[in-house]
Amino acid sequence: MKVDTQFIDELIEKYYECETTLEEEKILQEYFTSDNVAPEHKYLIPQFIYYEEEKELLFLNNFDEKMKQILDDTPQKRFTLKLFTPWIYSAVAILIIGFGISLILNNKKVIVTGNGDIDKNEFVFQKTIYAFEQLSKNLEITDQNLDHLQKVSYGLNQLNQLKQLENLKYINKLINNSESQ
């Protein structure tokens, strides 16, 4: 049987580019297992025979069972959730302790420094009294300034009214003068 080597070359090329159909692969398989392999293709015979053997081994002879056996024989690692490692437990504990400490620190209601020999409570009272005295004094100054501004504003207003009165008097005088003339 004469084989179209050009056609086989095309198929081989397609085969290595993974573009062959199942039918074309079958043609190649049959060609390489036959006695009509062209001399230029003989170097590929072992490769295709190997593929054939592997196929038989995997697909033809109880593939499922063989796969199961392979899987069963492989020592399997037990799946453990990496989250629950001792390190994570310790980290969570540290987080809780840290949060607790910071809460205690922040909940400290009175912080005093530089009180020297003075009792802490006494010092707090002294400073609070001072703060409120300053506040009282300064609010008083603010009030006084506002008062002063109000008074100035009132004064200006009065002055304005006075000027208007003077103007009216002056106009009145002019009118009277013109009437008498």
Partner 1 sequence: MIYKYTLLLIFIIFSSNLVFAQNKNIDKLFSKYSNTNGFSSVQLKDPGKTLPNMTKRNQKEIKELLDGVEHIKVLSMEDDKVQKPTSEQFREEVMNLQPGEGFKEIFSVKDGGNALKMHIKDNNGSVSDLLMLVSEEKKVTLIWFNGKLDLEKLTKSASMLPNILK
Closest approach of partner 1 to the CB of residue 64, in Å: 48
Choice between 29 and 115, CB closer to partner 1: 115
> Angle at CA 99, nearest 5°, toward 93 and 104?
125
Binders in 119-148 for partner 1, by CB under 8 A = 121, 123-125, 127-136, 138-139, 141-142
The piece of 24-32, 75-83, 95-103, 159-167 that touches partner 1 (CB under 8 A) is: 95-103
**Distance (Å, rounded) from C-alpha 96 to C-alpha 17?**
60
Q: Which of 21, 33, 34, 102 binds partner 1 (CB under 8 A)?
A: 102
Q: Which residues of 33-43 are buried (b: 16+ CB within 10 A; e: fewer)?
A: eeeebeeebee
In DSSP notation, 13-65 reads: HHHHTT---HHHHHHHHHHHHSS---GGGGGGHHHHHHHHHHHIIIIITTHHH
Give how far the C-alpha of residue 115 lies from the chain's centroid of Cα atoms, to the nearest Å.
46
Closest approach of partner 1 to the CB of residue 94, in Å: 5
Choice between 34 and 85, CB closer to partner 1: 85
Instruction: Note whether 117 binds partner 1 by CB under 8 A.
Output: no
- Token match 């008074």: residue? 151
| Residue numbers at the binding site for partner 1 (CB under 8 A) | 90-91, 94-95, 97-99, 101-103, 105-116, 121, 123-125, 127-136, 138-139, 141-142
